Structure 1
Amino acid sequence: MDPNLKAKIDQACRTAEEFTKVYYESVDKKRHLISKLYLDTGLLTWNGNGITGCEPIQKFYIELPSTDHTVVTLDAQPVYDMAVNGQLTFLIQVSGHVKYQNKSAKTFQQSFVVTALGDKWKIVSDCFRLQEPLSAEK
């Protein structure tokens, strides 16, 4: 394996661990700070609903019931330089369980595209989906 690629994959995995710790702590306990994690033009797709911009995303999260996330799996990979004009960018994939207020825990899957902005990681795109069975009706 190319040593540069190996180093980038290792960096993506370390970044994913650090980033998701901060992200889920913010969602669960510090929602008033969540907008700081997104680019100004960031995109959140939450169970099929799209929201663009860090302030509308923060407003959306503040209006959700309180949550407690548990990460079960975590993976990350670098995004090919040619696709992002050499900008350091990673794809992070997470699955786990989320408990909303007094309800039972549900399984979720979430994918992030994060990019380096100075010494901070900012969310370019965030896709969250509760893992519920599709309806049997057609």
Structure 2
Amino acid sequence: MNDTKSRIDQACRVAEDFTKLYYDTLDKRRHIINKLYLETGVLSWNGNGVIGSKKIVKFLMDLPGTDHTITTLDSQPILDSAVNGQTTLMIQVTGTVKYQDKSPKTFQQNFIVTAQGDKWKTVSDCFRLQEPLTPKN
């Protein structure tokens, strides 16, 4: 039981540190965001799929400048049996993003991150703007 609690505590600490670094890098130093992804990392951004850290940084560099504000943050460890004992976490984030001079939009982002030495690298990243559904007549 103590091991489970310590892994959950670690997941919470890592989530706070990782998301602060991630959004700070995305908003202010986007050109080095590839350092936060595995070389084989996967990004799904509003339905656009990108594979590989070099292609991910190119995709993100083509987006307008951003300013993210985090509203909620949650994290949990992924079972060892699912990831062959590799320390891996799922991080869920919600917040608002402001693109240049446009009004803020709500977003949700899910990360799967894995330990690589003393660094955390993104295995999978799924970003989605939270647009209201429009009724169909």
TM range (shorter): over 0.9
Quote how far apart the aligned CAs of 1:3 are: 0.6
TM-score relative to the length of structure 1: 0.97
Q: Which residue of 1 aligns with 2:30?
A: 31
Q: Which residue of 2 aligns with 1:5?
A: 4
Quote how far apart the aligned CAs of 1:135 are: 2.9
Aligned residues: 137
Within 5 Å, which residues of 2 pair with 1:87-98? 87-98=86-97
TM-score relative to the length of structure 2: 0.98
Structure 1 residue runs of 5 or longer lacking an equivalent are: none
The 2-side partners of 1:81 and 1:3 are apart by 16
Q: Which residue of 2 aligns with 1:114?
A: 113
Quote how far apart the aligned CAs of 1:63 are: 0.6
Q: Which residue of 2 aligns with 1:85?
A: 84
The 1-side partners of 2:136 and 2:44 are apart by 25
- In the alignment, structure 1 residue 47 sits paired with structure 2 residue 53: no
Question: What is the SS of the residue equivalent to 1:26?
Answer: helix
Q: Which residue of 1 aligns with 2:63?
A: 64
One-letter code aligned to 1:80: L
Quote how far apart the aligned CAs of 1:137 are: 2.5
One-letter code aligned to 1:111: N
